Amino acid sequence: VVELALGMCAILQVARRRAVAALMGLLVVFIVATIWAWSHGNAESCGCFGRAAARGPQAVIIEDLLFLALGAVAWFLPGITAWAGFRRLAAAVAIPIMISLPFWLPQAAIDAWVTPVKPGADLSDIAVDGIRVPVTQGRVLLALFSSDCEACDRSIPILDEIAGTDGAPTVAAVLGGDNQSRRAWVLEHVPAFPVGHTPMKALRQYYRRLPVFILMKDGIVERAWWVDPPRVSDVVSAGVASRVTSD
């Protein structure tokens, strides 16, 4: 948010040099932090553009150095004097909106825009261990869970109900983590459906917030729900639910 506000000030030429100086200072901080993390082996992939554009620490440092060079160029460029009133008004409107983003954006219903989980998407390559029958065969309601997700725990009774309903799809869940954490979670919650596991890093590409409930047919997404599980009537079809057993 701070970077967005400073960038807007630099673009709109509102306190331009101070904004550019602040941005360059942040870049220096990011470079130093990346070098420190890299030297301690804690930077396998990083970057500010999300999972789709994760880079190694070397690429991030080079990128930030290029931005630092651009900032130096912007510092010495002459400022724009025209439309000063309009630019200040635009900044006065845009900056409060940017500052408010952390308060409403996490709850915004934009999951289908920022993840690959959307109707028609092919998730046949999703990795799930600990379930004997592949979850991408037939009609399956797959829940994405983590062991520290209260909303995931609250959805278990509804998924149990769906799993026991004739004509409902196969119900299964994949828990982010290793097999030990999966076993502990299953022993604690005793779900009526099988639970597999996959590394959290692999699962992370499919969600912005958990839980996620994905209705698939042969690996193709038909519908998805975020946070709140579907009702039985949302997923029941003419077929009879198949059974999947976990290890």
CATH number for 203: 3.40.30.10
| Residue 68 maps to a domain | yes
Low-confidence residues of the chain: pLDDT under 50: 50, 52, 238-246
**Together in a domain, 127 and 99:** no
**Together in a domain, 124 and 98:** no
**Together in a domain, 98 and 133:** no
Please tell me the total count of domains within the chain.
Answer: 2
Contact 174, 198 (CB under 8 A): yes
Range of the domain at 65: 2-107
pLDDT at residue number 211: 94
Q: Which amino acid is at 185?
A: W
| Residue 240 maps to a domain | no
Residue with tokens 């890093």: 201
pLDDT at residue number 230: 94
pLDDT at residue number 244: 45
pLDDT at residue number 243: 41
**Together in a domain, 145 and 103:** no
**Together in a domain, 99 and 119:** no
Query: Which of 107, 133, 157 lies at the terminal end of a domain, its last residue?
Result: 107
- Residues 65-95: pLDDT tens digits? 998 998 888 888 876 666 667 777 777 777 7
**Together in a domain, 152 and 228:** yes
Query: Which of 65, 92, 107 lies at the terminal end of a domain, its last residue?
Result: 107
Q: Both tokens of residue 219?
A: 């690996």
What is the pTM assigned to this prediction? 0.62
pLDDT at residue number 164: 92
pLDDT at residue number 221: 94
**Together in a domain, 96 and 131:** no
d(CA 109, CA 105): 8
**Together in a domain, 94 and 146:** no
**Together in a domain, 38 and 89:** yes
**Together in a domain, 93 and 119:** no
| Residue 244 maps to a domain | no
**Together in a domain, 76 and 169:** no
Query: Which of 58, 75, 107 lies at the terminal end of a domain, its last residue?
Result: 107
| Residue 247 maps to a domain | no
